[in-house]
Amino acid sequence: MKFVSVLFIPIVVALSLVAKAQTPAPTEPPPFSGEAEAGAIMVTGNSDSENYAAKGKAAYKAGKNIYTLSGQYIRTEANSVESVRNWNAGARYDHEWTDYLGFFGSQKVESDIYSGYLQRDSTDIGLKYWLTKTDSFDWTLEAGYRYSKTQNVLVGTTYDQLIRIYTEINAKIDKEFSFKYWIEYLPNMTRADAYQVNTEASINVMLNSIFSLKLAYLLQYQNEPAPPGEYSTTTTTLNLVAKF
């Protein structure tokens, strides 16, 4: 499939960085953390177009418990014709049993009418394991179960049970530059051909202690999309990020 090369190049980079990650475990972070990012492009003249993207995340840590809220919105319009409108919002609970092993549960609501669904509600439970945890390099693996209810644009409502396998890499190259890569594989136990693969690679360049620029490339693949959705969609964003 055409996305295979995109998925595994960052893994090779990550393996080389593991050998270099010799710094001690990170110090305890503050209990509350968050980040917000936004971008907009507006063009007028011979043609009019608008492109908006916003994303936010807030987390609170109390002992071994972490509570997280997140959301995202993207919209594109050209000459008064909308071509992209999707959003998602979610809440997640994590509990750390040890420094390297934990449990999580989450609830997510999302919509993407141009990918074939009005709303998708997903409930996840599973385990999280840190393969590597240092100041400069983190590599985590998650495995669990997902129950999904999807209100499709044309073919009614579907209910699916899926296995969720997810891995994420965070690498801090230096004080100004960092790299993140994640991939999520969702084999479908209800409809075997309806599996999904989502993956994103991003780089972040710090401007000062609060603001940075983030360039991200997201690929979403549905092997059995609901009409009028496509098998794969890609999203490239360049956003200003504020961390606090």
Confidence band, pLDDT 50/70/90 cuts, at residue 175: confident
Confidence band, pLDDT 50/70/90 cuts, at residue 25: low
**Is residue 28 in some structural domain?**
no
Q: Check residue 7 and give its pLDDT.
A: 43
**Is the distance from CB of 154 to CB of 164 less than 8 angstroms?**
no
**Is residue 73 in some structural domain?**
yes
Which domain does 210 fall in, by range?
A: 4-23+33-243
**Is residue 70 in some structural domain?**
yes
Task: Indicate if the pLDDT at residue 144 is higher than 70.
Answer: yes
The pair phi, psi for residue 48, each rounded to 5°, is -110, 135
Count of the separate structural domains present in the chain: 1
Strands (DSSP E) contained in 117-195 are 117-133, 137-152, 157-172, 177-186
| Percent of the chain residues past pLDDT 70, beyond the cut | 87
Confidence band, pLDDT 50/70/90 cuts, at residue 8: very low
**Is residue 8 in some structural domain?**
yes
| Percent of the chain residues past pLDDT 90, beyond the cut | 68
More confident: 80 or 148 = 148
Q: Which of 15-19, 104-108, 239-243 has the highest mean pLDDT?
A: 104-108
Q: Check residue 221 and give its pLDDT.
A: 95
Q: Check residue 84 and give its pLDDT.
A: 87
Average confidence (pLDDT) over 177-204: 97
**Is the distance from CB of 185 to CB of 194 less than 8 angstroms?**
no
Nearest CA to 57 out of 86, 29, 31, 35 is that of: 35
Residues in the chain, overall count: 244
For the chain, how long is the longest CA-to-CA vector? Answer: 59
**CA distances to 47, 53, 58 from 71, in Å:** 31, 11, 9
Least confident of 8-17, 28-37, 108-117, 221-230: 8-17
Q: Please give the Cα distance from 26 to 32 (Å, whole number).
A: 16
pLDDT tens for 91-108 read: 999 999 999 999 999 999
The pair phi, psi for residue 173, each rounded to 5°, is -75, -45
The CATH code of the domain that includes 191 is 2.40.160.40
**Is the distance from CB of 178 to CB of 216 less than 8 angstroms?**
no
Q: Please give the Cα distance from 46 to 59 (Å, whole number).
A: 44
Task: Indicate if the pLDDT at residue 182 is higher than 80.
Answer: yes
**CA distances to 22, 194, 240 from 114, in Å:** 45, 18, 26
**CA distances to 19, 56, 114, 122 from 83, in Å:** 44, 23, 7, 25
Task: Indicate if the pLDDT at residue 164 is higher than 50.
Answer: yes
pTM > 0.75: yes or no: yes
The pair phi, psi for residue 29, each rounded to 5°, is -75, 165
**Is the distance from CB of 69 to CB of 58 less than 8 angstroms?**
yes
Q: Please give the Cα distance from 123 to 128 (Å, whole number).
A: 16
Task: Indicate if the pLDDT at residue 160 is higher than 60.
Answer: yes
Q: Check residue 5 and give its pLDDT.
A: 42
Q: Is 64 exposed, middle or buried (0-12, 13-18, 19+ CB in 10 A)?
A: exposed
